[in-house]
């Protein structure tokens, strides 16, 4: 009698645990959040950066480069490279201690320029650092919570790997070529997006609920706006505008 | 009979005293009882605390025991109880019985078997005998028939009677053993369970012990008889504070059953057996009751010192720790000492013994405020009057106190100061120039001052386009804000310059900025080596910083309006010369009471004046005095002490130091003397404080405050706030924690004497402090001693490398590999790109760097200098190229270090030598550095 009871109980508990796992891994389809970010002023002339070193490699496309710190679409005033993220999520949606994440895309040093300028890298996911220039670069991160990396990447090292453990905004520089600059946003959950040339973004599969969306831009700072996400379908976040500084 | 009896009975005895005796006996009995009670209970109050402690410990052990059992329910019952389980016991008994039965039966069978064997022998023997006698076999058989029968009988008995029984019993034993084994297996202990069983055992032991334990009859006491100024210290505090020096009774316990806070430092370094309790805490060590021992009331001689709130207990630290400026575990007393020094209390008050210790080699106690010689040429006369009258109307945070003088009095003092500069010999030649400048008011005198200064030669004499903007940029970027504040940004070491234009005279500022030490040899203000045009820009900018709230200029100059003689009287009365160097007051003695034994003052020795609402205690009086120094003045008793605007908190802190002024000298045995190494470190620390090196540099993990200014500047250059914060350490002066292990002391000495730019990306520059040889070598020795490395002089490293090594290193440093010269300068060979992107000149390395550090630097630069732009090239065994020196990173580092050191060495003739080993030489010589 007792044994049967125990067996039934254990079966039930296994079923419960399994269903809990499923509820997380299958993560309800959720809804998509769409939106656009605009620059609230006359689009400024893009900043020019002088190429001063290693001209044969770095100045192939001209002796100046166009800064990507403020990229505004002249027609729509859409603001590129704004990072939009959901805040106030239940921590259960955070990446677990050892996420089985697909490898992050990585950062490429090509033509003495970081590609891409702004990207999202999940915490604890490994990412590649590539040097396609065949000259000395160094990847120097400036951060408060993550360990600072300043690694030389000479010609013979085409590829290195690194991981960031703690979610935060990391500034990336190359000390050999002082005009090079990029940003890595170490994310704590999957609901982060970067705006495109038109200032548009899309967050997929966001669980239903009321949240604050955070809009971060490297020179214009961070701001928030409310959003209510339905169980399915998609919702359009209110158009967001960054005032010029 | 009657008569005889009468003769014996006296008058006295005619009255019965039995009642009286009874009462007396009763009293005696009571007194005896009381005596016993008093002796064993009343006079041994610690017993109660000990009893409670034992009870507490018992309860704790019990709770822990029960908890352990509860948490490990199954295993613990098993662990303790399976042996006692009645079922198991019964089984065990049955098993034992069965085993015994079986053994007995087997033995019996053995006996029968022996009988059977004997019978068989008998039968065979008789048979053979009969056959020998000639009987036929049949006949013989018939003759011994009865014998054979006996054998048969016995064997039958064995088979029929014993064997089945034995089989049965064996089976039973087997079954019982199986059952028993099952029991034991189920009940046996795992390692974890064994551990718990052990813990339970120990707890049980402790419980028994605590239950049995009786309080000690004699108090635990510490006796120290060689600590002056006490005759003999007898501290019985531990009679109640049972576990004060035992770890494990920290947070959740309450006094007296609590471990001493910070025991790991405070009690480990000052064991109770050697130091007792009252030398630090005061109170009555011999006393046995709580009230008498602690005596918190102010009329006791030595009430226990406060431990929380105002930490008077720290006043005791400096009786033994009197040779260092800072006391690691005494933050309050350290702060109090700094305040006493910074506010210039020494200027008016004498404290015997203290000044000597603190001054230890620091050129006497300097006057804390600027010299007033030549003040007329330095600042505006109007400003002097305003300043004397109310310093905080100009600088809201100044340390100059308010003497509560009337405007006329201020004018009188100003009149004296302004007149005296003509009357008295100025201190230095530079001030002569100053005086001339002010007297003649001509540019010629300024030029003279400029000639005297040792500023680097200017490229163009007086550039016409000196601008305020250039001046502003210079002030904000070269490092002035490491010490000075302008509009809320910068350090607080030196005066706030936000309104300096309303204070100083332009001509003075030229000379001062060009070379401050020419004007005041004691100033910590350095020269930034500005060229003339830069000086002009800086002056232009500073003079534009005016105070919008400045009062209207005086209609009549104080020189005319004031009475210099009256001024001199006021200066003498208020002791202005205690802090300022004033002509005509060179040989005055201190005006205020000697504080050497101030802490010993009883409340009745302190005059509370008309203040009735202040607590009549030492603390009450002292805090009242510090917060409002004129508080106790009456019509008859004048107070001269000025108002330092101390907050309540500051007054409390400062009073901790005053509490230490008891005029007693500690026995030398107990004084914490410094080792040779520590003395070097301490001397350097004082110099570092004196020159505010921490305004810019992080030293011993503190300081580097200028980073906030750098972050603001980076933002002004267009960096985002976030980026500026992150980049600030990179663009700030180098961190000097571990500097001793990095640079050679002789290089540091010469760099301090005459700084040269090393880091082209820094807009901040190391200024010239015009250190004396003694000061420079003191600072160099400080860093070497802190890092425990050789001092003072390291020979230049002589480097020789094999041809293979040279080929390897040239490959390693080439463009296709580490491309070192992409950033590093090499003497005249400069890298590509703008100067901000360059890295230090590698030619400097041999003179400047230690070889061991260089290897560490090549391994992990970020660890040595957080924020550095130098990347890691050879962090681990994967980072180096595989085709150089067979991919051995350690060897790669060695050859790079050797090559870099060879760059700056005299011959630099690497190729000419062919020895196979790199020679390291680094012997110290006594010839330099300690001049």
Query: Which of B716, B731, B761, B822 to probe by mutation at the A interface, max A CB count within 10 Å?
Result: B822
Are residues A36 and A240 in contact, defined by beta-carbon separation less than 8 angstroms? yes
Residue whose tokens read 């505004």: A72
Q: Which of A33, A34, A39, A32 is nearest to A217 (CA)?
A: A39
Please report residues of B whose CB lies closer than 8 A to that of A82. Answer: none
Element (H, E) at B870: none
- The 10s digit of each residue's pLDDT in B657-697 is 999 998 888 888 888 888 989 988 988 998 898 899 999 99
Q: Which of A54, A150, A175 sits opposite B862 (nearest CB)?
A: A150
Task: Output phi, psi for A84, to 5 deg.
Answer: -110, 130
Q: B314 is written with which tokens?
A: 């720290």
DSSP category for residue B31: H
Query: Which of A131, A154, A182, A217 to probe by mutation at the B interface, max B CB count within 10 Å?
Result: A154
Q: A185 is written with which tokens?
A: 């946003």
Q: Which of A54, A152, A221 sits opposite B872 (nearest CB)?
A: A152
Q: Confirm or reject contact between B880 and chain A (CB < 8 A).
A: no
Residues paired with B839 in a beta bridge: B824
ipTM of predicted complex: 0.81
Count of residues for chain A?
Answer: 245
pLDDT at position A72: 92
**Nearest-angstrom CA–CA distance, B581 and B572:** 13
**Nearest-angstrom CA–CA distance, B513 and B541:** 12
- The 10s digit of each residue's pLDDT in B798-836 is 888 888 889 999 999 998 889 999 999 988 888 988 888
Distances (CA, A) of B694 to B265, B437, B479, B485: 27, 35, 12, 15
Q: Least CA distance to A145: which residue of chain B? A: B726
Q: Least CA distance to B812: which residue of chain A? A: A154
Q: Which of A148, A156, A169 sits opposite B881 (nearest CB)?
A: A156
Distances (CA, A) of B589 to A84, B401, B568: 72, 20, 15
Q: Which of A238, A189, A245, A190 is nearest to A217 (CA)?
A: A245
pLDDT at position B357: 66
Contact A175 B823 (CB under 8 A): yes
- The 10s digit of each residue's pLDDT in B735-769 is 998 899 999 999 999 999 999 989 988 999 999 99
Chain A: give the shortest CA distance to residue B872, in Å.
5
User: B67 CB contacts (<8 Å, ≥6 apart)?
Assistant: none
The pLDDT-based confidence of B189 (bands split at 50, 70, 90) is low
The pLDDT-based confidence of B253 (bands split at 50, 70, 90) is confident
Q: Least CA distance to B875: which residue of chain A? A: A151
pLDDT at B98 over 70: yes
Report B:706-735 residues touching A (Cβ under 8 A): 720-723, 726-727, 730
Q: Confirm or reject contact between B870 and chain A (CB < 8 A).
A: yes
Contact B833 A219 (CB under 8 A): no
- The 10s digit of each residue's pLDDT in A28-53 is 568 899 999 999 888 888 889 999 88
Are residues B508 and B378 in contact, defined by beta-carbon separation less than 8 angstroms? yes
- The 10s digit of each residue's pLDDT in B509-522 is 999 999 998 888 88
pLDDT at B339 over 60: yes
pLDDT at B579 over 60: yes
Q: Confirm or reject contact between B840 and chain A (CB < 8 A).
A: no
Chain A: give the shortest CA distance to residue B886, in Å.
15
**Nearest-angstrom CA–CA distance, B679 and B673:** 9
Q: Which of A54, A142, A178 sits opposite B726 (nearest CB)?
A: A142
**Average of per-residue pLDDT across A2-13:** 61
pLDDT at position B78: 54
Contact B837 A53 (CB under 8 A): yes
Please report residues of A whose CB lies closer than 8 A to that of B723. Answer: 142, 171, 218
Q: Confirm or reject contact between A28 and chain B (CB < 8 A).
A: no
The pLDDT-based confidence of B389 (bands split at 50, 70, 90) is very high
Contact A176 B819 (CB under 8 A): yes
DSSP category for residue B305: P
Cβ-based neighbour number of residue B740 at 10 Å: 26
**Nearest-angstrom CA–CA distance, A89 and A27:** 13
User: Does the bond joining A136 to the residue before it have cis omega, within 30 degrees of 0?
Assistant: no
What DSSP assignment string belongs to B114-161?
Answer: HHHHHHHHHHHHHHHHHHHTT--HHHHHHHTHHHHHHHHHHHHIIIII
Lowest mean pLDDT, pick from A178-187, B833-842, B910-919: B910-919
- The 10s digit of each residue's pLDDT in B514-550 is 999 888 888 899 999 999 999 999 999 999 999 888 8
b/e B289-304 (16+ beta carbons within 10 angstroms → b): eeeebbbeeeeeeebb
Please report residues of B whose CB lies closer than 8 A to that of A129. Answer: none
Q: Confirm or reject contact between A239 and chain B (CB < 8 A).
A: no
Contact B836 A178 (CB under 8 A): yes
For chain B, the average pLDDT equals 84
Contact B815 A148 (CB under 8 A): no
**Nearest-angstrom CA–CA distance, B206 and B202:** 6
Element (H, E) at A194: strand A192-194
Are residues B478 and B388 in contact, defined by beta-carbon separation less than 8 angstroms? no
Chain A: give the shortest CA distance to residue B808, in Å.
15
Q: Which of B834, B869, B875 sits opposite A175 (nearest CB)?
A: B869
pLDDT at position B641: 94
**Average of per-residue pLDDT across B305-313:** 89
pLDDT at B281 over 50: yes
Lowest mean pLDDT, pick from B100-114, B366-380, B428-442, B788-802: B428-442
**Nearest-angstrom CA–CA distance, B831 and B841:** 10
Helices B429-440, B443-452: crossing angle, 10 deg rounding: 170
Contact A176 B861 (CB under 8 A): no
Please report residues of B whose CB lies closer than 8 A to that of A175. Answer: 823, 837, 869-871
Residues paired with B193 in a beta bridge: none
Please report residues of A whose CB lies closer than 8 A to that of B730. Answer: 142
Contact B862 A144 (CB under 8 A): no
Q: Confirm or reject contact between B87 and chain A (CB < 8 A).
A: no
Q: Least CA distance to B872: which residue of chain A? A: A151
Q: Confirm or reject contact between B816 and chain A (CB < 8 A).
A: yes
Chain B: give the shortest CA distance to residue A119, in Å.
16
Residue B835, SS3?
helix
pLDDT at position B307: 87
- The 10s digit of each residue's pLDDT in A156-200 is 889 998 999 999 999 999 999 989 999 999 998 889 999 999 999
The pLDDT-based confidence of B580 (bands split at 50, 70, 90) is very high
């Amino acid at each position: 009698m007792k044994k049967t009871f125990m067996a039934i109980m254990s079966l039930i508990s296994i079923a419960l645990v399994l269903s809990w796992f499923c509820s997380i891994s299958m993560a309800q389809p959720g809804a998509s959040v769409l939106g656009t970010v605009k620059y609230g002023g006359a689009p400024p002339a893009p900043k020019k950066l002088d190429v001063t070193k290693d001209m044969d490699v770095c100045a192939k496309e001209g002796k100046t480069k166009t800064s990507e710190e403020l990229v505004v679409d002249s027609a729509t005033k859409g603001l590129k490279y704004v990072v939009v993220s959901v805040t106030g999520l239940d921590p259960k949606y955070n990446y677990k201690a050892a996420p089985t994440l697909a490898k992050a895309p990585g950062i490429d040093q090509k033509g003495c320029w970081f590609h891409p300028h702004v990207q999202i890298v999940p915490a604890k996911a490994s990412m590649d650092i590539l040097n396609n220039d065949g000259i000395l670069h160094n990847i120097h991160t400036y951060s408060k919570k993550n360990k600072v990396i300043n690694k030389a990447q000479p010609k013979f090292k085409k590829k290195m790997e690194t991981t960031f453990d703690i979610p935060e905004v990391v500034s990336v520089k190359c000390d050999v070529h002082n005009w090079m600059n990029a940003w890595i946003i170490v994310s704590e959950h999957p609901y982060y997006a970067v705006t495109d040339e038109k200032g548009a973004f899309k967050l997929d599969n966001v669980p239903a609920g009321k949240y604050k969306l955070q809009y971060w831009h490297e020179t214009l700072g961070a701001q928030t706006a409310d959003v209510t996400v339905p169980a399915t379908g998609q919702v359009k976040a209110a158009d967001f505008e960054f005032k010029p500084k | 009979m009657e008569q005889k009896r009468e003769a014996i009975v006296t008058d006295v005895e005619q009255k019965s005293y039995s009642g009286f005796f009874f009462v007396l006996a009763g009293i005696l009995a009571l007194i005896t009882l009381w005596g016993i009670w008093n002796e064993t209970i009343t006079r041994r109050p610690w017993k109660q605390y000990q009893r409670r402690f034992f009870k507490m410990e018992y309860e704790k052990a019990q709770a822990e025991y029960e908890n352990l059992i509860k948490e490990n329910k199954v295993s613990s019952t098993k662990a303790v109880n399976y042996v006692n389980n009645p079922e198991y016991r019964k089984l065990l008994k049955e098993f034992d019985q069965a085993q015994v039965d079986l053994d007995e039966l087997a033995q019996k069978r053995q006996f029968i078997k022996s009988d059977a064997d004997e019978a068989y022998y008998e039968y065979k023997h008789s048979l053979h005998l009969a056959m020998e006698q000639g009987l036929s076999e049949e006949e013989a058989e018939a003759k011994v028939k009865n014998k054979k029968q006996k054998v048969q009988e016995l064997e039958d008995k064995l088979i029929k009677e014993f064997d089945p029984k034995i089989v049965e019993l064996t089976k039973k034993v087997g079954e019982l053993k199986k059952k028993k084994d099952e029991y034991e297996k189920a009940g046996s202990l795992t390692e974890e369970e064994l551990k718990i069983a052990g813990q339970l055992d120990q707890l049980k032991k402790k419980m028994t012990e605590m239950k049995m334990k009786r309080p000690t009859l004699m108090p635990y006491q510490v006796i120290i008889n060689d600590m002056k100024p006490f005759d003999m210290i007898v501290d019985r505090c531990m009679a109640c504070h049972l576990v004060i020096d035992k770890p494990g009774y920290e947070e959740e316990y309450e006094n007296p059953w609590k471990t001493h806070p910070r025991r790991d430092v405070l009690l480990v370094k000052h064991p109770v057996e050697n130091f007792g309790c009252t030398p630090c805490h005061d109170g009555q060590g011999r006393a046995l009751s709580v009230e008498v021992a602690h005596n918190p009331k102010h009329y006791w001689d030595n009430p226990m010192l406060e431990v929380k709130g105002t930490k008077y207990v720290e006043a005791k630290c400096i009786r033994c720790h009197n040779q260092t400026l800072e006391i690691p575990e005494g933050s309050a007393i350290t702060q109090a000492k700094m305040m006493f020094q910074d506010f210039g209390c020494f200027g008016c008050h004498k404290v015997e013994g203290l000044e000597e210790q603190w001054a230890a080699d620091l050129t006497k106690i300097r006057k804390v405020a600027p010299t007033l010689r030549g003040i007329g040429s330095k600042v505006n006369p109007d400003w002097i009057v305003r300043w004397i009258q109310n310093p905080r109307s100009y600088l809201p945070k100044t340390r100059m106190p308010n003497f509560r003088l009337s405007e006329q009095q201020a004018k009188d003092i100003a009149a004296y100061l302004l007149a005296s500069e003509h009357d008295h010999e100025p201190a230095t030649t530079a001030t002569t120039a100053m005086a001339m400048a002010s007297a003649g008011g001509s540019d010629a005198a300024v030029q003279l001052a400029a000639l005297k200064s040792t500023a680097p030669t200017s490229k163009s004499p007086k550039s016409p386009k000196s601008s305020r903007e250039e001046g502003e940029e210079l002030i904000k970027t070269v490092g002035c804000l490491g010490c000075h504040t302008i509009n809320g940004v910068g350090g607080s070491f030196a005066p706030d310059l936000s309104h300096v234009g309303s204070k100083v005279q332009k001509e003075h500022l030229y000379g001062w900025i060009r070379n401050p030490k020419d004007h005041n040899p004691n100033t910590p203000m350095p020269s930034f080596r500005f060229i003339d045009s830069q000086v002009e820009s800086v002056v232009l900018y500073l003079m534009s910083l005016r105070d919008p709230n400045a009062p209207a200029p005086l209609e009549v100059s104080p020189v005319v309006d004031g009475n210099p003689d009256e001024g001199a009287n006021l200066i003498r009365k208020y002791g202005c010369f205690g802090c300022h160097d004033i002509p005509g007051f060179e040989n005055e003695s201190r005006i205020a009471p000697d504080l050497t034994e101030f802490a010993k003052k009883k409340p009745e020795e302190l005059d509370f004046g008309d203040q009735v609402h202040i607590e009549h205690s030492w603390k009450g009086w002292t805090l009242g005095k510090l917060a409002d120094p004129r508080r106790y003045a009456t019509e008859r008793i004048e107070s001269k002490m000025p108002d330092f605007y101390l907050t309540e908190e500051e007054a409390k802190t400062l009073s901790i130091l005053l509490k230490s002024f008891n005029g007693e000298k500690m026995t030398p045995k107990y004084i914490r003397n410094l080792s040779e190494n520590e003395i070097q470190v301490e001397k350097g620390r004082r110099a570092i404080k004196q020159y505010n090196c921490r305004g810019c540099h992080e030293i011993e993990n503190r300081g580097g405050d200028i980073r906030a200014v750098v972050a603001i500047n980076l933002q002004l250059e267009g960096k985002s706030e976030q980026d500026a914060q992150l980049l600030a350490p990179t663009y700030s002066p180098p961190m000097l924690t571990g500097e001793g292990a990095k640079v050679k002391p002789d290089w540091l000495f010469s760099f301090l004497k005459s700084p040269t730019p090393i880091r082209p990306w820094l807009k901040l520059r190391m200024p010239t402090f015009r250190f004396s040889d003694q000061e420079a070598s003191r600072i160099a020795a400080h860093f070497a001693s802190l890092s425990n490395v050789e001092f003072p002089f390291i020979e230049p490293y002589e480097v020789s490398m094999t041809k293979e090594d040279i080929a390897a290193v040239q490959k390693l440093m080439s463009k296709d590999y580490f491309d070192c010269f992409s950033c590093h300068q090499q003497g005249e060979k400069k890298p590509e790109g703008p100067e901000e992107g360059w890295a230090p000149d590698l030619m400097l390395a041999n003179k400047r760097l230690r070889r061991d550090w260089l290897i560490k630097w090549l391994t992990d630069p970020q660890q040595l200098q957080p924020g550095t732009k130098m990347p890691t090239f050879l962090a681990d065994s994967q980072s180096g190229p595989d085709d150089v020196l067979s991919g051995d990173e350690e060897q790669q580092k060695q050859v790079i270090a050797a090559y870099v050191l060879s760059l700056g060495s005299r011959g630099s003739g690497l190729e000419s030598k062919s020895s196979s080993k790199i020679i390291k030489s680094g012997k110290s010589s006594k010839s330099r550095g300690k001049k």
